[in-house]
Structure 1
Amino acid sequence: MVTVPAGRVTLSDRRTQRSWTIEVACFRMAAFPVTQASYASVTGERPSAAHDGRLPVESVSWWDAVRFCNALSRREGLTPAYRLPAAGAATGTGAETAGEADWDPSADGYRLPTEAEWEHACRAGSGGPRYGPLDEIAWHRGNSGERMHEPGRKRPNAWGLYDMLGNTWDWCWDLYDPEVYGPYRVLRGGGWFDEHWSCRASVRRRSHPTFRTDDVGFRVARSTVL
């Protein structure tokens, strides 16, 4: 886990032409996305389409990600960050389809980063669309060979975070735009099959929290609890 300093980040949405600034408190974020081996050790499940324990876990829904966070917290003796509905929702029905989940900000357990935390951490104090030359920091359609790669093979950002752009999209906690898209959640970062314009710090993608595909994973964060 890497300590991300407090700061301010301005988010923007191309569809609405809207921008907004958020203050981000100090928090901790994993230097790498969750791997298949880590996911299997916590959940006993291996959902990924490309089977290799060293690769990022993918084909996981937003609900899979938040359940992993709670399970990892319990395993390490931490307070789970999320209050979740009963598990019958693996089929995409009931409360999970409605997007009902509560986050306890006072909990010391693992969680997904907020969208603002993610972008602040990705930028690492830089002001451009990326924290370095794209081919040096990210796997994308132009250099990936149309497959995923082991995390940490590209240059990290200034705060020591790897693969913030490219390789796999990261689930974030936030609802994308509940008035228009209901329970859809935010994805950030771009993936191994995306063109270069999708691998930018500001790019927002949305998907239903039950959605699973082979270029979407996640990384964990923790609040700095006083």
Structure 2
Amino acid sequence: MINCIKCATELPDEANFCSNCGFPVGSLKVCRSCPECGASLSAIDKFCSQCGKSVRVVKSADENPFVTKESKSSNNAIPKMISIEGGQFLMGGAAANYPVTLTSFKLSETPITQKQFSYVMGHNPSKLQGDDKPVEMVNWCEAIIYCNILSAMQNLTPCYSIGSVTDLRTFDASSPVWKRISCNFMANGYRLPTEAEWEFAARGGKKCDPYQFSGSSDINKVAWYGENSDITTHIVGTKAPNSLGLFDMCGNVMEWCWDYFVQEFPPTAQTNPHGPQIGNMHIKRGGSWLDDFQQCTVYFRSASAPAGKSSSLGFRVCQSEIGAPI
């Protein structure tokens, strides 16, 4: 017997689709989403099982329906992770910065795309549709759930749990049970970056790029923001990356971080800070397609409630480098 990765229904070994939720299982691979409704599709689907739209059959592994000429990034269904060597940096704006030391970690090359989100979650919640655009209209809790499911799909140890439970799909985003969530930073699965990891990566890591924006002092080279976005998101990776090869760290969509929001940084040096233990709002970083240039700087901070959603808010994923030295 096998179990559906989506809903855990027990299925016979020869099953191709889950009898409960319809998700492809066994040897079938989900490699795309329906252009009409965002439902996950396998390589052999001729019609979308959710909306009935006719779709193209992918005949071979060499025929990749996701490659676009516009994007400079990889744009695969599984996020490409960039290794970032740990080090020290001054976090925050010039008026309120403090020294932080981080161990090495990995960060996804781009924000999670709608294709990547649909591949894992089976639906596309985005308002501004496009497979290779960043996913948005995702709250903090849904980003956490995505991380755990993707970890399970890749046979990695999930980072997040509430008590002993790692399958968090049954918990509503408004439930107070989310206050009990914990993150195992020693697990090898996917997670949200901490605020410190996000800023360190945006600044070029140990290179400590001297730019106001991630990768350049000219925002138009690296970011889709209020003045050049034409009031919409854009395909990820169409602006220049920063020196670590990370795209869209500024602009396109804001990105959820793990930490609860606190107004003031701690007054002393920190090593691998994870933010306060309790709070009501979670950190967002990077600015978006509708923001001004100040909100797209590498040090600008904002926050939203964990159940909050917006067409300007998405996320990218992180992995700990287990055993990495400081």
Q: TM-score, normalised by structure 2?
A: 0.65
Which residue of the partner structure matches residue 68 of structure 2? none
Distance in 2 separating the partners of 1:100 and 1:212: 21
Aligned counterpart in structure 2 of residue 174 of structure 1, from 259, 283, 308: 259
Instruction: Say what the alpha-carbon RMSD is for the aligned residues.
Output: 1.8
Determine the C-alpha separation between the residues in 1 that align with 2:126 and 2:192.
19
* Distance of 1:190 and 1:73 partners within structure 2: 27
Q: Which amino acid aligns with 2:259?
A: D
In structure 2, distance between residues paired with 1:182 and 1:73: 26
C-alpha distance in 2 between matches for 1:66 and 1:137: 27
**Residue of structure 2 in register with 1:102 after alignment:** 182
Q: Which residue of 2 is the match for residue 68 of structure 1?
A: 146
SS at the partner of 2:180?
coil
Runs (5+) with no aligned partner, structure 2 = 1-80, 263-274
**Cα 1:150/1:76, change in 2 over 3 Å:** same
Query: 1:203-214 to 2 correspondence within 5 Å?
Result: 203-214=300-311
Task: Tell me, yes or no, if the aligned pair for 1:83 and 1:102 is still in contact at 8 Å.
Answer: yes
Deviates further, 55-64 or 1-10: 1-10
Mapped contact 1:9–1:116 kept (Cα < 8 A):
no
* Matching residue of 1:160: 245
Alignment of 1:126 with 2:126, yes or no, is: no
Match in the other structure for 2:100: 22
Task: Note if contact 2:91-2:196 (Cα within 8 Å) is conserved in structure 1.
Answer: yes
Give % identity.
33
2:155 match: secondary structure = coil
Aligned pair partner of 1:89 in 171, 174, 192 = 171
Equivalent positions of 1:32-43 (< 5 A) are: 32-43=110-121
- 1:197 matches 2:294: yes
Relative contact order (alpha carbons < 8 A, sep ≥ 6): 1 or 2 greater?
A: 1
**Cα shift at 1:91:** 5.0
Distance (whole Å) between structure 2 residues aligned to residue 26 and residue 12 of structure 1: 20
TM-score normalised per structure 1: 0.92
CA distance in 1, matches of 2:292, 2:175: 33
Structure 1 CA distance for aligned equivalents of residues 171 and 93 of structure 2:
30
CA distance in 1, matches of 2:303, 2:93: 11
